[in-house]
A and B are shown apart, each in its own frame.
Chain A
Amino acid sequence: DAGVIQSPRHEVTEMGQEVTLRCKPISGHNSLFWYRQTMMRGLELLIYFNNNVPIDDSGMPEDRFSAKMPNASFSTLKIQPSEPRDSAVYFCASSLFGRESNQPQHFGDGTRLSIL
């Protein structure tokens, strides 16, 4: 079975450029999560969607960050304009959310982002 698919795997760009990260969740999963991981701050939740609807975006650091989920099989995380402090590994994860219990989240391989 295909897992969570993220692209690109690596991105190096200059400060001020727009960055778009992409994610395809596991088929049948109805929740999608975007995380950022750095040595200093660990793994931080940025935003998550249930059934394509954003539920909690309190972790989005500022207005330069935006996320969309136009359908059940695709999501994007955009940074515009990018800054060096945005350099991190960005993970996408998906899970099956239901009333009975919380199923575990499964992570993609991540996008390693470097802003010069």
Chain B
Amino acid sequence: QKEVEQNSGPLSVPEGAIASLNCTYSDRGSQSFFWYRQYSGKSPELIMSIYSNGDKEDGRFTAQLNKASQYVSLLIRDSQPSDSATYLCAVTLAAGNKLTFGGGTRVLVKP
């Protein structure tokens, strides 16, 4: 079992719709959770961080964390073609600052 798992996609979403991305992790001691966006040929860019159970909203993005079920999700509202990218889920353990990345979910927003 991979430590951090994501559906590789592609997740095809019509423009204006909500894109829903999921991520599960195996280590119950995980404490910090991040979502990165990576455009083709570019470096990962942080878009959201979440540390406690519940929802965290930032503009069109909402991160949701459920530590009991060991999953973290990302919602993108009013999806735009510019949101087309690969979204990486990353998790750190309580004892350190090493990030473990999922394989990424490719999102395609179609006009």
Q: A residues within 8 Å of B by Cβ?
A: 31, 33, 42-43, 45, 48, 50, 55-56, 91, 95, 97, 101-110
CB-defined contacts of A91 to chain B, threshold 8 Å? 43-44
Mostly, the A contact residues are strand
Known interface pairs A91-B43, A110-B43. Does A105 touch B51 (Cβ–Cβ under 8 Å)?
no
CB-defined contacts of B44 to chain A, threshold 8 Å? 43, 91, 107
Q: In the complex, A48→B92 CA distance in Å?
A: 13
Q: In the complex, A8→B88 CA distance in Å?
A: 25
Q: In the complex, A55→B92 CA distance in Å?
A: 15
Q: How many residues of B contact A (CB 8 A)?
A: 22
Interface string of B75-111 (1 = CB under 8 A from A): 0000000000000101010001111110110000000
In the assembled complex, B25 has its CB within 8 A of some CB on chain A: no
Q: B residues within 8 Å of A by Cβ?
A: 31-32, 34, 36, 42-46, 49, 51, 88, 90, 92, 96-101, 103-104
Known interface pairs A33-B99, A42-B104, A50-B97. Does A107 touch B31 (Cβ–Cβ under 8 Å)?
no
CB-defined contacts of B104 to chain A, threshold 8 Å? 42-43
Report whether B98 and A104 are in contact in the complex, using a CB–CB cutoff of 8 Å.
no
Listed A/B pairs (30) with beta-carbon separation below 8 Å:
A31-B97, A33-B99, A42-B101, A43-B44, A43-B101, A45-B98, A45-B99, A45-B100, A48-B97, A48-B98, A50-B97, A55-B98, A56-B98, A91-B43, A91-B44, A101-B32, A101-B51, A102-B31, A102-B32, A102-B92, A103-B97, A104-B34, A104-B49, A105-B34, A105-B46, A105-B90, A106-B46, A107-B43, A108-B43, A110-B43
